[in-house]
Amino acid sequence: GIQVEQSPPDLILQEGANSTLRCNFSDSVNNLQWFHQNPWGQLINLFYIPSGTKQNGRLSATTVATERYSLLYISSSQTTDSGVYFCAGPINQAGTALIFGKGTTLSVSS
């Protein structure tokens, strides 16, 4: 299966700052998802983005499939953005489950 690596592992920001989270994967993917796990443990879908660019409010994501990476941009961060951000790709070519990176823990202070 593929390997998924995320960076940085930890990120501390002041409210209003921008940030970029990176996800590298070791093989081609037909499924790439970004999740936010909030402090209450809930896994929230952010983007399903095997390729291209998507935007949702202050968040956007870009996946460059040919170069095997994806980026998550957070602009004008808010304290509610705190939590762990995971990217996940298919465990195999059949895509029958997700393999997760270790996550980026984001702390936004006011």
Partner 1 sequence: DTAVSQTPKYLVTQMGNDKSIKCEQNLGHDTMYWYKQDSKKFLKIMFSYNNKELIINETVPNRFSPKSPDKAHLNLHINSLELGDSAVYFCASSFGGEGEQYFGPGTRLTVT
Of positions 22, 62, 71, 103, contacts partner 1 by CB under 8 A: 103
Rounded to a whole number of angstroms, the minimum distance from the CB of residue 16 to partner 1 is: 26
> CB-based contacts of 57: which residues, under 8 Å, 6+ apart?
none
Q: Does 58 bind partner 1 (CB under 8 A)?
A: no
28 contacts partner 1 (rule: CB under 8 A):
no
Q: Which is nearer to partner 1, 31 or 60 (CB)?
A: 31
Encoded tokens for 19: 């940030």
Based on the shown chain and the rule CB under 8 A, indicate whether residue 102 belongs to the binding site for partner 1.
Answer: yes
Query: Considering only residues 39, 41, 56, 57, which one is a binding residue for partner 1 as defined by CB under 8 A?
Result: 41
Cβ atoms of residues 41 and 102 within 8 Å:
no
Under the binding rule (CB under 8 A), the answer on residue 94 touching partner 1 is: yes
Q: How far apart are CA 43 and CA 10, in angstroms?
A: 18
Residue with tokens 């809930």: 42
Specify burial of residue 10 (Cβ count, 10 A radius: 0-12, 13-18, 19+): exposed
Footprint on residues 64-93 left by partner 1 (CB under 8 A): 84, 86, 88, 90-91
